[in-house]
């Protein structure tokens, strides 16, 4: 049973369509990420759910009730803004307490719930500080506590981690997931960071140019991207153009195998292959031959650029036992299981390798 | 370092220093000295020194009533500027171009018109044969004359002082995170509550500095009370002018000017102390 439903929700500014007929059903307790590049309409979608932007068409249903035209202060949703929007003239405790005051919660209960919320985000020591006396990560937590203390039916987060540095961002990802699972609030998070979306959500909704193009569990979005754009936006992908065969493609005189092959035989097609699905084998073996042109170390894995007859291929190699399969300038073979490769009909010119 | 570098700052600030000494310190000192000179109606300024100018001014109900009126008019003008200017600045900050530019021009407009022309315009509106009076007669309420009253002075002062309130408040609003109000709404605050609890406390510094400017300028205004207050309604600056130009009692005029200066300075310094204390609390 869907808890929050968006029915062909649209927003137009003049003759520009920022959000184009988005349909989405979110179950109670679910953590959904809206993922897409900057300007694709994620914030606008979130603001329509929050009541901060008026939909041009479509409706929003919350728990069986239509809230499309309801004022934001009547919806009772928790919102965490990208800039956190903490009230600078109030202490942490006063910030968190504000929503309860608006709900006319009594003094004693208010204090108890504020303390609870601050304990949840591990900020109990900082109740009397002002926002300016906190670090970025701490402000982030105050914003989350302030949104959650009113026990909202839905928590909306707009790029909550984008203002944090890399290390803190990773920490807060896990923290956010922990908090969400502790309180069990239905959560929608907007992000342009695919890693963030994949790692902490139950479901990822990908948006392109105002349209929703895929909504699925993270592993499915990663392994079976619905569009070419998604395949290159999420994770690294080798896209090799060629002519479709029954099981694979034919490119630059080489036959590259794949089992997932919906394209019509003889038509132009693209074979997509994740870098981590390719194995480096001794020269002379495998499906494709090439020379290692560059090698990069990332700690947990290596990245190889291999020059082949079909162009440069990126290969990722896990750093499991410290052994190295190849050095720069060395000829190698590339191998993969045909189940890992996907062939799709070539619709438009795309860059062959996208990061 | 060398002697040359230590004297350079003095050398560079020399023109400014001369200007300040010549234009501010010297006239003020001369006025102060003049205010202690004795005066005789037949002879003029005497060479002897006395405190009688001050005792005369401070014990004369006529002068005291003028000081009181000056204080009252400046206060009312300041309060009205806050009441009108703060909402206006808030609305202005929520406007999009081109409306914002147009309204900003409308607000600053009065400053671009000569005070004489502006006051003449007001007398045509407010006089006993003015537009407002005629409208009142047509409505059967009889003629009203606002001209030559404190109300006329206040109306004209508010009109020209508004930009000095709106601009600092508007600047303060511009500096706020645009997400603050939506955040308050999402927590259940109505539009009014969001403004009162979240926006107002943060722009209070802008309101206070705007008030300081408006109060100072209103208390020392000369042309508007002179033109719209008529012969009877004097304010501090106009009575000083009277003493100098009509009574020719320069020492008495100087004493009044000095009393007004000191009073104004005291009020503004006290107010400034308040602003600084507030700023420390808000900005940390
Ligand atoms: N108030 C507005 N007026 C006109 N265009 C807007 C307005 N708000 C957003 N847009 C446009 O709508 C598109 C989507 O914006 P947004 O939802 O903020 O994108 P995202 O959050 O995905 O980066 C952008 O192209 C943006 O320029
Ligand atoms: Mg955005």
Domain ranges (residues) in chain B: 49-182+191-283
Domain CATH code at residue A277: 2.40.50.140
Domain contains A137: yes
Lining residues, ligand 1, CB within 6 Å: A 13, 18, 36, 38-44
Q: Look up the ipTM and state it.
A: 0.84
Q: For residue A81, list chain B residues with Cβ-Cβ distance below 8 A.
A: 179, 182-183
Atom 21 of ligand 1: nearest residue by CA position? A43
Per the structure, the count of domains in chain A is 2
Question: Is A73 in the B-facing interface, judged by CB distances under 8 Å?
Answer: yes
Name which of B190, B197, B282 is nearest A73 (Cβ-Cβ). B190
Going from the Cα of A60 to the center of ligand 1, the distance in angstroms, rounded, reads: 19
Same domain (yes/no): A184, A253: no
Going from the Cα of A39 to the center of ligand 1, the distance in angstroms, rounded, reads: 6
Which of A196, A228, A260 is at the close of a domain? A228
Q: pLDDT by residue for chain B (284 residues), tens digit each?
A: 455 668 888 889 999 999 999 999 999 999 999 999 999 888 888 888 999 999 999 999 999 999 999 999 999 999 999 999 999 999 999 998 889 999 989 988 888 999 889 988 998 898 888 888 888 888 888 888 888 999 999 999 999 999 999 999 999 999 999 999 999 999 999 999 999 999 999 998 899 999 999 999 999 999 999 999 888 899 999 999 988 888 888 999 999 999 999 998 999 899 889 888 877 776 65
Domain CATH code at residue A25: 3.40.50.300
Positive or negative torsion for Cα B186, B187, B190, B196: negative
Fold (CATH) for B49-182+191-283: MetI-like fold (1.10.3720)
**Among A85, A129, A150, A156, the residue to mutate for chain B (most B Cβ within 10 A):** A85
Q: DSSP label at B95?
A: P
The residues with which A343 forms a beta bridge, in sequence order, are A271
* Reported pTM: 0.83
Angstrom distance (rounded) from CA B178 to CA B170:
13
Contacts of B64 (CB under 8 A, 6+ apart): B58
Same domain (yes/no): A251, A214: no
Write out pLDDT tens, residues A250-287. 988 889 999 877 777 888 888 889 999 999 999 889 99
**3-state secondary structure string across A209-247:** CCEEEEEECHHHHHHCCCCHHHHHHCCCEEEEEEEEECC
Percent of chain B exceeding pLDDT 90 equals: 59
Same domain (yes/no): A45, A90: yes
Name which of B180, B185, B197 is nearest A73 (Cβ-Cβ). B185
CA-wise closest residue to A266 among A348, A351, A343:
A343
Write out pLDDT tens, residues A108-137. 999 999 999 999 999 999 999 999 999 999
Domain contains A355: no
Task: Quote the domain boundaries for residue A164.
Answer: 4-228
Closest-CA distance of chain B to residue A160, Å: 13
Same domain (yes/no): A114, A151: yes
Separation in Å, CA A313 to CA A31, A142, A271, A296, B62: 35, 45, 12, 14, 96
């Amino acid at each position: 049973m869907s808890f929050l439903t968006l029915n062909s929700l649209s927003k137009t500014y003049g003759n520009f369509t920022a959000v184009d007929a988005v349909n989405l059903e979110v179950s109670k307790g679910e953590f959904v990420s809206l993922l897409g590049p900057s300007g694709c309409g994620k914030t606008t979608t979130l603001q329509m759910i929050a009541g901060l932007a008026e939909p041009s068409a479509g409706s929003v249903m919350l728990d069986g009730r239509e809230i499309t035209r309801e004022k934001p202060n009547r919806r009772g949703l928790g919102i965490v803004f990208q800039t956190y929007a903490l009230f600078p003239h109030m202490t942490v405790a006063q910030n968190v307490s504000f929503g309860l005051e608006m709900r006319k919660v009594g003094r004693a209960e208010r204090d108890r719930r504020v303390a609870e919320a601050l304990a949840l985000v591990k900020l109990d020591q900082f109740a009397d500080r002002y926002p300016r006396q906190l670090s970025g990560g701490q402000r982030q937590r105050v914003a989350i506590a302030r949104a959650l203390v009113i026990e909202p039916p839905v928590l909306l987060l707009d790029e909550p981690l984008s203002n944090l540095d890399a290390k803190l961002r990773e920490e807060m990802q896990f923290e956010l997931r922990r908090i969400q699972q502790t309180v069990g609030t239905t959560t929608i998070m907007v992000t342009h960071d695919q890693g963030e979306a994949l790692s902490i959500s139950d479901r990822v909704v990908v948006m392109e140019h105002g349209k929703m193009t895929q909504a699925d569990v993270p592993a499915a979005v990663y392994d079976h991207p619905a569009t070419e754009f998604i395949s290159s936006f999420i994770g690294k992908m080798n896209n090799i153009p060629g002519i479709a065969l029954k099981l694979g493609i034919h490119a630059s005189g080489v036959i590259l195998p794949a089992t997932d092959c919906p394209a019509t035989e003889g038509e132009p097609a693209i074979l997509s292959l994740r870098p981590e699905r390719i194995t480096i084998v001794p020269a002379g073996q495998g499906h494709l031959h090439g020379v290692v042109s560059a090698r990069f170390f990332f700690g947990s894995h290596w990245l190889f650029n291999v020059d082949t007859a079909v162009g440069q291929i990126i290969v990722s190699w896990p750093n499991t036992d410290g052994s190295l399969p190849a050095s720069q300038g060395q000829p190698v073979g590339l191998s993969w299981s045909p189940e890992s490769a996907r062939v799709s009909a070539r619709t438009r010119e795309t860059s062959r390798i996208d990061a | 370092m060398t002697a040359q570098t230590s004297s350079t700052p003095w050398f560079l600030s020399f023109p400014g220093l001369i200007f300040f000494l010549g234009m501010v310190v010297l006239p003020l000192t001369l006025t102060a000295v003049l205010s202690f000179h004795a005066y005789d109606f037949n002879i003029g300024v005497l060479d002897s020194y006395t405190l009688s100018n001050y005792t005369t001014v401070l014990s004369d109900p006529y002068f005291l009533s003028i000081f009181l009126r000056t204080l009252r008019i400046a206060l009312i003008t300041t309060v009205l500027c806050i009441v009108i200017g703060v909402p206006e600045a808030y609305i202005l900050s929520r406007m999009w171009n081109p409306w914002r530019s147009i309204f900003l021009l409308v607000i600053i407009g009065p400053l671009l018109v000569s005070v004489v022309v502006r006051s003449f315009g007001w007398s045509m509106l407010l006089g006993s044969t003015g537009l407002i009076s005629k409208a009142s007669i047509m409505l059967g309420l009889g003629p009203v004359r606002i001209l030559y009253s404190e109300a006329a002075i206040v109306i004209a002062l508010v009109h020209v002082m508004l930009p000095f309130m709106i601009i600092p408040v508007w600047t303060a609003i511009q500096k706020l995170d645009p997400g603050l109000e939506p955040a308050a709404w999402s927590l259940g605050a109505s539009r009014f509550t969001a403004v009162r609890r979240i926006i107002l406390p943060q722009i209070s510094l802008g309101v206070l500095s705007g008030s300081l400017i408006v109060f100072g300028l209103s208390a020392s205004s000369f042309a508007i009370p002179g033109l719209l207050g008529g012969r009877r309604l004097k304010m501090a600056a106009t009575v000083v002018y009277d003493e100098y130009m009509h009574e020719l009692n320069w020492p008495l005029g100087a004493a009044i000017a000095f009393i007004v200066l000191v009073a104004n300075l005291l009020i503004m310094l006290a107010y400034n102390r308040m602003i600084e204390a507030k700023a420390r609390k808000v900005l940390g």
